A and B are shown apart, each in its own frame.
Chain A
């Protein structure tokens, strides 16, 4: 039956009722199990761990140390170390012996055929060989030892070709020694031996001990000789310090030790003016720069004395040069 009371009588609300609004948390009386404060040592430990350097050490230093220690322990065994080294050696071997890096051919350029054969024999490479194993410096040193080779350039080209680019020495002089004839380049370096002077009669001749060392000077003298060049038989190095020019008809020009070209030019001037060398001379001595001396043949000397009204010299006075 419905109530007659138009509004619902509600009891006065006691506080907050369950289910009405937000439930109020009870007055908890939870016992604190332990002292919330840290112990003195825990507190100090935390402070120590917050020290910046220690933190940096723990973050970086310690892992590095640990890894290093583990690696050290692992590598302390001899066979383990060897096996690790072996693995790396094998890897390197495998990589270096790939066909891309193999050298199979030698191509020699810039030289005559005979020289190319000599160079090839001198290179003495065990082909095919990996370009990593190829010791180009040593090979180059071996090739340069050849007299006829002035310079050499070695380079590994693509396709496994070792290209050897050779610059040959050009002989400019023939050097006569007691042991035989040899060809010499402009620096005095030996190029090759020579059997007969007639084989290379286009080259001027030098002789004497140490003539090769002064080859540049000899070339200068020959270049300066100009008008008397056809008459020159050769140059003789005297006592490893100065040159004599030997002309045909047994004439000699004794050049001084220093500035021989200058002295020769003066002689040529004399010759041009007075046609001196065409006269009956044995030698022109230019060793003292301010006193050129002429040596006449016996006949000429006697003729001179006779012209002056003097007695001719006896035959025995003549000296051998």
Chain B
């Protein structure tokens, strides 16, 4: 735990250094594509001149000067399975983005969707030393949260204070400076497989880059696709990715739950490929070009050439109707949505006051998905697209880039995490010099 704590602090410092230098790269390591965006932080002076445009939660601080995307290789279920291949794919994306930006980047913030995220709700409580809540008290109450056994080989990816309560008053976002006796906090902790982080770290280091931050894809795609009131009032974001479907629930602008379903658009492609005996690349093309979820009478008559190069005329001239394609795709999409429903149910989403669900990710572009989601997830479903940020190419504004854009926002305006606060002196080893130093600092 302390090991990761140190790692996260190092990454935080690195991110600050990179923002000072002004250039940082964003890397979305997905199952179907790897996207690399290069952000330039050049102040908000240019936008300030426009009437009525405020700082906008940090997304006016940067603009995107390089963007590249490449087909992902060696990634399955949002986890790196073949390191060399992934490393090459990352290199391709980074090189193309650097070429477009014409600037060299050294720091990268990455996100991934798999690695079996698990959410934990933590609670801690302390008595205040004097009646005013200070930053030191917040660090203490965060440290007082009893950490559950997250299991061997797992690491903490996010640990964000979600709610503070002072005496009988709950729902405080920032209790600093307030007066009370007893401070309690709720914290959301997201743990992932240790090996996934290690693999990603290794790949990024092999590309001569330094990891300046790491985030869960479910979290960052929700940041970019949920609008502000949805984040405030409570909403779930379902990121239909290639190999994994991320589910995250937001409430009061904090993520309170995240999980992923190990199924995604690649499975739909695989079904098509297997059902029609065609290569996966063709299946992907047919899916994106003709795919759908609701068959109509017209679809019976719309025939799709499957093609082929086997030399056998019968096989190469096969044609299927769009209805057949829909018949293959729909059960799998239904299954994915059912799984997402199960995840949401397990998280107690139906007890939340707002039942808003936002579908995003590349899979949300299937025609008819919103109607199908209405049947499975409830009536309040909408398709989300990521926020518009400055300088993003038109090709990268689709829902497939929700997590990349969200990562930009995460880089520009990161939420407070556990490790952003000072370690309280009690947590240091008993004979540590730093503990003595902290004691002096706190008491004088």
Mask of B291-325 contacts with A, CB within 8 angstroms, 1/0: 00000000001111111010000000001000000
Check if A50 sits within 8 Å of B104, measured CB to CB. Answer: yes
The segment from A41-49, A120-128, A233-241, A301-309 that touches chain B is A41-49
B101 to chain A, nearest CB (A): 9
Q: List the one stretch of A32-40, A179-187, A220-228 in contact with chain B.
A: A32-40
Are A15 and B88 touching (Cβ within 8 A)?
no
Is residue B91 within 8 Å, beta carbon to beta carbon, of the partner chain? yes
A5-30, CB under 8 A of B: which get 1 and which 0?
A: 00000001111000000001011010
**B171 is an interface residue with CB less than 8 A from chain A:** no
Q: Are A14 and B303 in contact (CB under 8 A)?
A: yes
Q: Is B339 an interface residue (CB 8 A)?
A: no
Quick check: is A51 within 8 A (CB to CB) of the other chain?
Answer: yes
- Interface size, chain B (Cβ < 8 Å): 28
Question: Does B301 lie within 8 Å of A50, measured CB to CB?
Answer: no
Query: Closest residue to B104 on the A side, CB-wise?
Result: A50
Of all chain A residues, which has the CB nearest B92? A37
Q: Does B89 contact A (CB under 8 A)?
A: yes
Take A27-B305, A43-B207, A51-B104 as given contacts and tell me if A37 and B88 are in contact as well, using a CB distance cutoff of 8 Å.
yes
| Distance to closest chain A CB from B404 (angstroms) | 19
Q: Are B103 and A35 in contact (CB under 8 A)?
A: no
One digit per residue, 1 when the CB lies within 8 angstroms of any chain A CB and 0 when it does not, for chain B 80-95 equals 0000000011011011
Let me know if B319 and A14 touch, CB within 8 A.
Answer: yes
Q: Which residues of A contact B302 (CB under 8 A)?
A: 15
Tell me the smallest distance from the CB of A13 to a CB of chain B, in Å: 6
A14-B303, A15-B319, A47-B104 are contacts. A35–B95 as well, Cβ < 8 Å?
A: no
Chain A residues closer than 8 Å to B89, beta-carbon distance: 37
Cα distance A51–B70 in the bound complex, in angstroms:
24
The prevalent SS among residues of A at the interface is loop
B307:A46 contact, CB within 8 angstroms: no
On whether A38 and B92 interact (CB within 8 A), knowing A14-B319, A43-B207, A47-B98, the answer reads yes
Given A27-B307, A46-B99, A50-B98, also A12-B301 (CB < 8 A) = yes
Partner of B208, one of A26, A35, A38, A44: A44
Q: Which residues of chain B come closer than 8 Å to A35, judged between CB atoms? A: 88
B172 interface residue (CB < 8 Å to A): no
Mask, B243-286, CB within 8 Å of A = 1, is 00000000000000000000000000000000000010110011
- Residues of A near B98 (CB, < 8 A) are 46-47, 50
Residues of B within 8 A of A40 (CB): 91
Closest beta carbon of chain B to A233's beta carbon, Å: 97
A29 in contact with B99 (CB, 8 Å)? no
Is the CB of B102 closer than 8 A to any CB of chain A?
yes
Determine if B92 and A36 form an interchain contact, defined as CB atoms under 8 angstroms apart.
yes
Least Cβ distance of A21 to chain B in Å?
A: 12
User: Contact: B91 with A50, CB < 8 Å?
Assistant: no
Give complex CA distance A36, B88 in Å: 9
Do A50 and B319 touch across chains, with their CB atoms under 8 A apart? Answer: no
Residue numbers in A under 8 Å from B304 (CB-CB):
15
**A202 CB to nearest B CB, Å:** 90
Distance of A29 Cα from B281 Cα, bound (Å):
8
Kindly report which residue of chain A lies nearest to residue B89, judged by CB atoms.
Answer: A37
When chains A and B are docked, how far (Å) is the Cα of A241 from the Cα of B94?
99
**In the complex the two chains form, what is the Cα distance from A9 to B302 in whole Å?**
18
Q: How many interface residues does A have (CB within 8 Å)?
A: 21
A-B contact count (CB 8 A): 55
Smallest CB gap from B322: residue in A? A15
Contacts of B102 in A (CB 8 A): 50
Instruction: Report whether B104 and A43 are in contact in the complex, using a CB–CB cutoff of 8 Å.
Output: no
Q: Find the B residue at minimum CB distance from A48.
A: B104
Bound-complex Cα distance A52 to B208 (A): 17
B208 contacts A47, C-beta separation under 8 Å = yes
Q: Is there contact, CB below 8 Å, between A29 and B92? A: no
Interchain CB contact (< 8 A) of A36 among B70, B281, B282, B303: B70
Distance to closest chain B CB from A36 (angstroms):
6
In the complex, are the beta carbons of B319 and A43 less than 8 A apart?
no
Query: Which residues of the partner chain B approach A42 to less than 8 Å between Cβ atoms?
Result: 95
Please determine whether A26 and B303 come into contact, CB atoms closer than 8 angstroms.
no
Q: Which residues of A contact B306 (CB under 8 A)?
A: 27
The answer to whether B303 touches A38, judged by C-beta atoms less than 8 angstroms apart, is: no
Q: Is the CB of A13 within 8 A of B301?
A: yes
Closest beta carbon of chain B to A265's beta carbon, Å: 86
Cβ-defined contact, A26 with B92, below 8 A: no
B contact residues around A36 at 8 Å (CB): 70, 92
Measured CB to CB, the closest approach of chain B to A35, in angstroms, equals 7
Instruction: State how many angstroms separate the Cβ of B285 from the closest Cβ of chain A.
Output: 6
In angstroms, Cα B257 to Cα A106, docked, is 106
Whole-angstrom distance between the Cβ of B35 and the nearest chain A Cβ: 15
A133 to B89: give the CA distance in the assembly, Å.
Answer: 76
Residue among A38, A42, A44, A47 with the highest chain B CB neighbour number at 10 A: A47
A43 to B281, CA, bound (A): 27
Distance A27 CA – B278 CA, assembled complex (angstroms): 11
Question: Please, what's the 1-or-0 string for A72-111, where 1 marks a CB less than 8 Å from any CB in chain B?
Answer: 0000000000000000000000000000000000000000
Distance (whole angstroms) from the CB of A63 to the closest CB of chain B:
20
Cβ–Cβ contact B95 & A15, under 8 A:
no
Measured between C-beta atoms, what is the minimum distance from A42 to chain B in Å? Answer: 8
Q: Which residue of A lies closest to B71 (CB)?
A: A36
Which of A13, A29, A46 lies in contact with B282, CB distance below 8 A? A29
Residue numbers in B under 8 Å from A26 (CB-CB): 305, 307
A56 to chain B, nearest CB (A): 13
Per the bound structure, the CA–CA distance linking A44 and B87 in Å amounts to 13
Known: A15-B303, A29-B282. A46 touches B95 (CB 8 A): yes
Nearest A residue to B206 by beta-carbon distance? A40
What 0/1 pattern do residues 141 to 169 of A give for CB contact below 8 A with B?
00000000000000000000000000000
Interchain nearest-CB distance for A57 vs B (Å): 14
Question: Which residue from chain A places its CB closest to the CB of B286 in the assembled complex?
Answer: A27
Instruction: Given A14-B303, A36-B92, output 14 extra A-B contacts at Cβ < 8 Å.
Output: A15-B302, A26-B307, A27-B285, A27-B307, A29-B309, A37-B92, A38-B91, A43-B91, A43-B95, A43-B207, A44-B208, A46-B98, A47-B104, A47-B208
Interface residues of A (CB under 8 A from B): 12-15, 24, 26-27, 29, 35-38, 40, 42-44, 46-47, 50-52
Would you mind naming 12 contact pairs between A and B with Cβ atoms under 8 Å apart?
A: A13-B301, A14-B319, A15-B305, A27-B307, A29-B281, A38-B95, A43-B94, A44-B208, A46-B95, A46-B99, A47-B208, A51-B104
B→A interface (CB under 8 Å): 70, 88-89, 91-92, 94-95, 98-99, 102-104, 207-208, 279, 281-282, 285-286, 301-307, 309, 319
Nearest 9 pairs of A and B residues by beta carbon: A15-B303, A50-B104, A37-B88, A37-B92, A27-B307, A14-B303, A43-B91, A27-B282, A38-B95
